[in-house]
C-alpha cells in the first residue's frame, strides 16, 4: 500500500479481518459488565445493550466462560449450556438485524476464581498451585484467593475440549467468530508467564512449553470456525490478577511469531499496563510486536478518534478497540463521524447493576 493511500485511512474506513468484512475500524472491546441473568444466560437487557452498539465495525462480546469450571466472577455469562446459547442467539440476531457483526470472547479465569463460584466447591484451576495475591469478588462479597489446583495433563486435555465445545456453541448461537482470551491474567495467560507457571512437564519451563496450551486451544477453535474467523487477545504489560513474567518481551515476541502459523483474522494486543511500567515484569516497547505479526493488528487502551486515526495512518494498527467510550456512547461511530461531544461514563456502574449506566446512555439524537 502506498503512503498516500495509507494516510487517507481513518477509523471510519472499512476493512476485512479475515472473513469479517467491517464497515469501519471501530471495535467494541470485550467488557465484563456482570449483568447475566438466570443460568448465567444473556437477558433482554443484554440484547438491548449490544443492539445499541451495532454500528461499531465489530463487537467483541464480554468474556464468556467456556464451562462452569471456568467461571471467575458473579453474574458473568457462559457459553456451555443450551439456555446460554439461546440467550446469546437473541443477542446475535439483534446485532445482525442492525447490520452489525459480533464475535464471542472465550474465557477461562483459571486461578483467579473461588471455590464458591465453581461446581461442587472445587478449587480454581491453574498451571501451578500458586496462590495469587489479593481478593476475589464472590456472591458473598470479597474473599481471599485460594491456592489453586494444578491441572494434570489429562485435565489440560479436558480444558482444550471445553474450548472446542464452547467454540461450537458460539457457532450455534449465531456469532460471526470468536476471540480466544489469552490476556489479563486468566488461565491461558497464567500458562504463558513464568511467574504463575512453574511446571516441569511439556506445559512449563521453556517458551515453547509455556505457549503450548494457548496454541493448542487456538488450533482446536480454528477447527470449528476456520482461522479467518478467530482472533486472539494478549496483554504483555498488564499486571492485573497478580500476573508477571521475568522477560515479557521475549515471551510475547515468541507467542506473536508462533501465532502467525494459523493465519488468524486478527491479533488483539492491549496496551494496558504501559502506564505502570515494570509491575508485570521488565517494561518494553509494545511497538516491536507489530512487525512480528503477519496479519491484521488490533490494539486498545486510552485511544480517542485522533489517536486512533494516527495509529492507523502510521501503520501501528489496523483497527482500534474501544471500551469506556463505547460503554457511554452507544453511537460512538456516529459521534466520531460528526465530531460531536461524547457522553461521560459512570465508572460506578461498570460492574453489575441494572439498566442505569448500561442501556440508558443517550444517543446523539437524544442528547
- Burial of 51-77, coded b for 16+ CB within 10 Å and e otherwise, reads bbbbbbbbbbbbbbbbbbbbbbbbebb
H/E element holding 26? strand 26-28
d(CA 334, CA 270): 24
d(CA 42, CA 199): 37
Cβ atoms of residues 31 and 323 within 8 Å:
yes
Catalytic residues: 186
Cβ atoms of residues 118 and 68 within 8 Å:
yes
d(CA 95, CA 177): 14
H/E element holding 215? helix 207-225
User: Would you state the cell numbers that stand for residue 360, as one nine-digit string?
Assistant: 440508558
Which phi and psi angles does 22 have, rounded to 5°?
Answer: -100, 140
Bridge partners of residue 138, in order along the sequence: 141
Amino acid at each position: 500500500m502506498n503512503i498516500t493511500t495509507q494516510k487517507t485511512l481513518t477509523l471510519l474506513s472499512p476493512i476485512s479481518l479475515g472473513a469479517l468484512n467491517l464497515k469501519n475500524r471501530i471495535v467494541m472491546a470485550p467488557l465484563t459488565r456482570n449483568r447475566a441473568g438466570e443460568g448465567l444466560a444473556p437477558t433482554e437487557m443484554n440484547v438491548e445493550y449490544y443492539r445499541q452498539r451495532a454500528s461499531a465495525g465489530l463487537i467483541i462480546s464480554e468474556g464468556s466462560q467456556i464451562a462452569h469450571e471456568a467461571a471467575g466472577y458473579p453474574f458473568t455469562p457462559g457459553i456451555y449450556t443450551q439456555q446460554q446459547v439461546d440467550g446469546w442467539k437473541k443477542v446475535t440476531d439483534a446485532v445482525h438485524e442492525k447490520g452489525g457483526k459480533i464475535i464471542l470472547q472465550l474465557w477461562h479465569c483459571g486461578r483467579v476464581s473461588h471455590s464458591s463460584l465453581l461446581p461442587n466447591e472445587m478449587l480454581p484451576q491453574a498451571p501451578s498451585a500458586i496462590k495469587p495475591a489479593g481478593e476475589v469478588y464472590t456472591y458473598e462479597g470479597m474473599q481471599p484467593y485460594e491456592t489453586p489446583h494444578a491441572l494434570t495433563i489429562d485435565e489440560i486435555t479436558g480444558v482444550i475440549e471445553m474450548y472446542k465445545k464452547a467454540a461450537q456453541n458460539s457457532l450455534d448461537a449465531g456469532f460471526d467468530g470468536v476471540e480466544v482470551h489469552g490476556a489479563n491474567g486468566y488461565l491461558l495467560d497464567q500458562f504463558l508467564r513464568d511467574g504463575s507457571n512453574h511446571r516441569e512437564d511439556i506445559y512449563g519451563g521453556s517458551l515453547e512449553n509455556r505457549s503450548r496450551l494457548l496454541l493448542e486451544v487456538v488450533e482446536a477453535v480454528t477447527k470449528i470456525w476456520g482461522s479467518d474467523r478467530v482472533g486472539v487477545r494478549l496483554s504483555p504489560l498488564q499486571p492485573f490478577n497478580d500476573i508477571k513474567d521475568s522477560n515479557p518481551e521475549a515471551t510475547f515476541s515468541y507467542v506473536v511469531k508462533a501465532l502467525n502459523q494459523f493465519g488468524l483474522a486478527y491479533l488483539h494486543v492491549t496496551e494496558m499496563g504501559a502506564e505502570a511500567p515494570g509491575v508485570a515484569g521488565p517494561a518494553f516497547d509494545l511497538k516491536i510486536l507489530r512487525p512480528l505479526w503477519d496479519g491484521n493488528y488490533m490494539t486498545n487502551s486510552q485511544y480517542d478518534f485522533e489517536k486512533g486515526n494516527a495509529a492507523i495512518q502510521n501503520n501501528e494498527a489496523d483497527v482500534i478497540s474501544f471500551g469506556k467510550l463505547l460503554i457511554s456512547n452507544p453511537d460512538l461511530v456516529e459521534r466520531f463521524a460528526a465530531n460531536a461531544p461524547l457522553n461521560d461514563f459512570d465508572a460506578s456502574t461498570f460492574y453489575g447493576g441494572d439498566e442505569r449506566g448500561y442501556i440508558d446512555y443517550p444517543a446523539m439524537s437524544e442528547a
